[in-house]
Amino acid sequence: MQLRYGGAVYDRTAALALGAVRPEGIELEYVVDLPNQVFRRMFDTAEFDVSEMSGGNYLTALARGENRFVGLPIFPSRVFRYNSLYVNVDAGIERAEDLRGRRLGVPEYGQTANVWVRAMLEHEHGVHARDVQWVRGTTEKVVFEPPAGVSIENAPAGRTLSDMLVAGEIDALSTPEQPECFAAGSPRVRRLYPNYTEMDAAYYRRTGHFPIMHMMVMRRDVYERDRSAARRLYDAFLTAKKMAYELLGRTGVLHTSLAFQTAAYEQQRALLGDDPFAYGVAATRHTVEALASYVYEQGLAPRQVPIEELFVPELLDT
């Protein structure tokens, strides 16, 4: 069986990209691209047989009738999000509560990262989406109507959110990637929470969530052609992840470009345990259901998608 997979390369998927791990009975062509581009390619043309997929976008689309794909409980990307918030230094914003009444830029309103940021703002800081004026930088991958009371405007043509933040045309920016102005060292911009690692750790202790960003989908027609392929893919991605953990735990040589890899890995295990990037339903239900509930409560989806509908039945026992 030949399958084309579209996604980024992470340490936990590198063995698959290199061919060191091969799904049983499957010749996997690993097509590397930026995650956001893979998502757009899948929604536009269903180009890949299997792909990495935005969790928030997929939940939104599924609840709105998208039926071209089925989900696998494989989660290539998780990211804590207190480091996503940037502010103009003259805006007078010192904490999340100060975002009320402000103009907050987002690349896309419906992207998973900003689903988690809005959930944090509401549930951790009492700032509802209705309290903010949202400024969107680009088009959505999944079309939706803004929920009642939520105001979303598009950035002016030819203007980037980074430029607008520097100029004070928006007060703050929530973005998965560092804005260009911050990366360039602009004195006009700073992180809202420079101590974001402490904030993220406290958030994890309170909620138990290491936020899931991306999951995996398979084209429905490919799945129906051979349903056993879902399990074989799951097993292969699990094996590749275990190999990444083993390499992180070795101290004789460093398998990443982090000089203090050993200390970072030990600190991570102390907080998040031995398998922070867990796959399968049992270990992730708490966080997957939270994401599904946030997508629904934020008005992106007309209903909350249950686990049993989100993932193929062959993998519900994982």
Q: pLDDT, tens digit, for every residue of 260-280?
A: 999 999 999 999 999 999 999
Tell me the DSSP string of 141-162.
SS--PPPTT-EEEEPPTT--HH
Average pLDDT, the chain: 97
pLDDT of residue 78: 98
Task: Report the pLDDT value the prediction gives residue 219, as an integer from 0 to 100.
Answer: 98
Over residues 19-35, the mean pLDDT reads 97
Which pLDDT value is given to residue 274? 96
At 13, is the pLDDT very low, low, confident or very high (cuts 50, 70, 90)? Answer: very high
For range 150-155, the mean pLDDT:
96
151: tokens are: 């105001």
Q: What percent of the chain has pLDDT over 90?
A: 98
Q: Tell me, what amino acid is at 37?
A: Q
pTM given for the model: 0.96
Chain segment 56-111, per-residue pLDDT in tens: 999 999 999 999 999 999 999 999 999 999 999 999 999 999 999 999 999 999 99
Note the pLDDT tens digit of each residue in 107-124.
999 999 999 999 999 999
| Residue-wise DSSP of 84-109 | GEEEETTS---SGGGGTT-EEEES-S
Q: Say which residue, 4 or 146, is predicted with more confidence.
A: 4
Supply the pLDDT for residue 93.
Answer: 98
Q: What is the mean pLDDT of residues 13-39?
A: 97
Per residue in 209-267, pLDDT tens?
A: 999 999 999 999 999 999 999 999 999 999 999 999 999 999 999 999 999 999 999 99
Q: What is the pLDDT of residue 35?
A: 95
For every residue of 198-227, DSSP letters joined together read HHHHHHHHHH----EEEEEEEEHHHHHH-T
